[in-house]
Amino acid sequence: MKKRILSFLLAALSMANLFADEGMWPLTMVAKLQDPMQAKGLKLTAEDIYSINNASLKDAVVRLMQKSGRMFCTGEIISREGLFLTNHHCGYGAIQELSTPQDNILSNGFWAKNRSEERPANFNIGLLRKVEDVTDQVLNGIAINQDEAIRAKAVSDATAKLKSTLVDALGADKGNYVVEVVAFWGGNRFLAMYYEVYRDIRLVGTPPENVGKFGGETDNWRWPRHTCDFSMFRIYSDTANKPADMNANNKPYSPKKFFPISLKGTQHGDFAMIMGYPGRTTRYTYSEGVRYLGGKERPMRVQVRRDIMDVYEKYMKQDPTIRLMYSDKLAGLGNYWNKFNGEAGELSKPEMIEKRKNLEREFENWVKANNKQDVYGEVTSLYDEVYVSLNKYGLYPVYLQDGIANSQPMMFAMQFSALTRDAKNGKLGAEGINMAKMMQSGIDDMFKEFHAPIEKEVLASVIRHLYEDLDHANLPISLTDLVTKYKRDYKKLAEYLWKASIFTDKVKLQKFLASPNLGKLLKDPIYAIVTGYNGKLNGDLKPIFDQISAKKVRADRLFLSALSEMYPDKAMAPDANGTMRMTYGTVMNYDPKDGVHYKEFTTAKGYLEKFKAGDFEFDAPKNLLDLIRNKDYGQYADKDGELHTCFLTDNDITGGNSGSPVINGNGELIGTAFDGNWEAIASDFGFMPAVQRTISVDIRFTLFIMDKLGGASHLLDEMTIVK
């Protein structure tokens, strides 16, 4: 076992690969990257970036986490008083939640004039304190080609036991920590991540939506960009600088490290480093997996999401109150609609599939030449079996995630299935009745962002997709019978469901919860559809999906292990998995296609060129346009006299990196990463060095908006600004 682990470490840490700039590198590997980074312009040492015993740059990078614990974005601390930046689209949900029609800070912007005006934000942040390699503890006595079910249980048991041990070892501090034991390289290596979680986070400032989201979905994933995609929050702690629940007596958190801010700007070829929390990449996907995703799975996601978004936008354009109500939902749907749309096109290109097939042929030849059939001989057949099954059954969970989960009445019904857990003899049990009582207090929140005309049309659209796109043999009778009865008139079917179901109206749902009845719940037509669909997934189809998962996990692990043996001198970055990574590169332009050249920065002139008064995506505040026309840029202007808005680097990032700090060679903040470019939209499946670019807000533009537009110059006083 130790020999195999050593093989992986050697493969991962080798610098022989000519494309060493590719990769979202774990911090434990930074020391091995120091020389190539310094050759590109880094003035710091690896210890300055990541140190276990001393303050380092990693202590200034924050992981945005929902109250449930799910990570969703990155941020960076920019003052000794816990002030941090992230993207506007990362803070969007919190800003929307704090907005009302009477005080619409999402639309109007907001800047706290003092600490007492800062507003509570409904999320946590995690600070990475320590990383430990725990591979030996997890895989002790477990063979790589052991029976998959036995191996999976052994790894799960070892991971759970180890996590409990690590948490308990924190002693009195354990209530403030989340410890994650995370698999790398397909489960060939495991690292333990220690996050100290701060729970009192407050909104300090945000630009108006038509600045923070300028360009909307039209500009999303595109260059040139001009949006000032940032928002600003503050971390609060108890008097001992430890995490605490929100309390008036809490004080601003005093960080171990924060980023100084550079006003010097960037030049083509300047060193640029990004640290953050990329979510997921799958760069070792099998060729048939690429074909399935590009030809079937991604196109279906795109169509389902687009139909729902069309409904949202139709009503949002008619009423500003509805626009506020659904803005966060539309942003969430739209971001990945755009991404999936681009991926569908790129992944279906023959050259993408052929590139994978070439690697697979090399793998198969290597297995035969080195007599490795006993360990790796089953990989190809496992992958083939996986994708035959996914082509037949793969869309069922997709439509649960992208269809049913985006219909509020359907999701309400899904949540209510918990009431039946202890039901007996046709009646709800004590647990169900108690749960119904607790649910009564949450009814207002359930319908807070619920507009009946929208939800009725979305319901019709989702049911249409389920029936028209999937094999009826695996759909619940409660759905197929209704579609037959209404002769595939989905509008009429939705009208019937709207009248017959308790999940379409707050009053009806309140009445049910006041006197819950199992029979009434089971007869509800929306409840019958969603629980029937879920029942199919967790019943008839579960053995199929369990088998798909087991085969794919096994094939992935064996394939990645083989690659480490095949290419011992090649640097291999593990797929992103929500843990902190570092990526380095340079400020860089690119040529997206023949005859077209994109320079590496944009300026405020773009606002004047793109502006459309009253437009859903390209409106802009009059006072901002006046500042730009008058070139009233102050200290934030570049030496060319213009206000630079966004810039490009060739860093390797993905979703989750939103809000990440972009850092120059001196360790100073030069921008905030917020997007990738369309030409590299499929980069989660393979690095694309010629065209892959990260789009970031120039930090000077951020400060300009904060100061000149927001009138929040007092916040600059707590920052360290380098001119």
- Angstrom distance (rounded) from CA 280 to CA 293: 15
Judge whether 13 and 571 are in contact, CB under 8 Å: yes
The residue assigned the tokens 């083939």 is 384
Residue type, 642: E
User: 28, 52, 53, 48: which is closest to 38 by C-alpha?
Assistant: 48
- Angstrom distance (rounded) from CA 338 to CA 306: 9
Task: Determine which one of 88, 89, 465, 644 is catalytic.
Answer: 89
Task: Determine which one of 21, 59, 229, 270 is catalytic.
Answer: 229
User: Cis (ω within 30 of 0) for the bond into 621?
Assistant: no
CB atoms within 10 A of CB 273: 26
Return the SS3 of 100: coil
User: 250, 263, 262: which is closest to 81 by C-alpha?
Assistant: 250
- Angstrom distance (rounded) from CA 711 to CA 720: 19
CB burial string 660-698: b at 16+ within 10 A, e below = bbbbbbebbbbbbbbbbbbbbbbbbbbbbeebbbbbbbb
Judge whether 304 and 407 are in contact, CB under 8 Å: no
Has 229 been annotated as catalytic? yes
Task: Determine which one of 99, 262, 658, 696 is catalytic.
Answer: 658
What is the separation of C-alpha 573 from the centre of its chain, rounded to a whole number of angstroms? 19
Has 88 been annotated as catalytic? no
Judge whether 610 and 210 are in contact, CB under 8 Å: no
Judge whether 74 and 671 are in contact, CB under 8 Å: no
Judge whether 101 and 108 are in contact, CB under 8 Å: no
Has 238 been annotated as catalytic? no
The two tokens of residue 88 are 């506007």
Residues designated catalytic:
89, 229, 658
